[in-house]
Amino acid sequence: MEPEVRPVVQQYLAAVREHTTSQNLATKIRELLSENAVYTFLNNTGIQEHSHNVFVYWDDGDQGIVLEVGVQVFSLFTGNDRVICSSTPSGLAATLLHRGPYEQLGTTHRAIIDWCQANHHPITGLRWEIYGRWNDDPSKLETQVFYLLQ
């Protein structure tokens, strides 16, 4: 499959934010998911969520990656010392649907990057993944991957 370029609109997120490195990214994601701070916060406050998990990544130059692990929510809210109100960006994005195990998401990211370079679509340092519903069969997992374009 080939990526497509399409306009995207801002989607609010309840998320936790951490700095990490590309080498520690998978470990940091597992830590944040096991912490379960976002869903605990949502349950305690009654804020309604869309049920889609979202991971947002910013390249932070020599500092590594700023990572947000969260869930889509319907509106702005006031966070606490751990959970923040954030959002995905609006603008033009290159996107591709990944089907299969999460461990293979890197191939979808690489396909978008390569396609953008070949087709002269400069990317920013901002990308995100929207996860579909869980399935015990890894071959049926779906994740939409986005790269914000300049």
Tokens of 119: 């087709």
Block residue for tokens 């969520």? 49
- State how far the Cα of 132 lies from the Cα of 53, in Å rounded to an integer: 8
The total number of structural domains that make up the chain? 1
pLDDT at 40: 96
The residue type at 125: G
CATH number of the domain that residue 45 is part of: 3.20.80.10
Domain limits for position 132: 4-149
pLDDT at 62: 75
CB 147 within 8 A of CB 93: yes
pLDDT average per 10 residues of sequence, the chain (150 residues): 95 96 92 95 94 91 90 96 97 98 95 97 96 94 97
CB 58 within 8 A of CB 66: yes
Q: Which residue, 91, 89, 90, 87, is CA-closest to 121?
A: 91
Cα atoms in the 13 Å half-sphere on the side-chain side of 30: 6
Using alpha carbons only, how large is the chain's radius of gyration in Å?
A: 15
pLDDT at 39: 95
- State how far the Cα of 80 lies from the Cα of 130, in Å rounded to an integer: 23
pLDDT at 41: 97
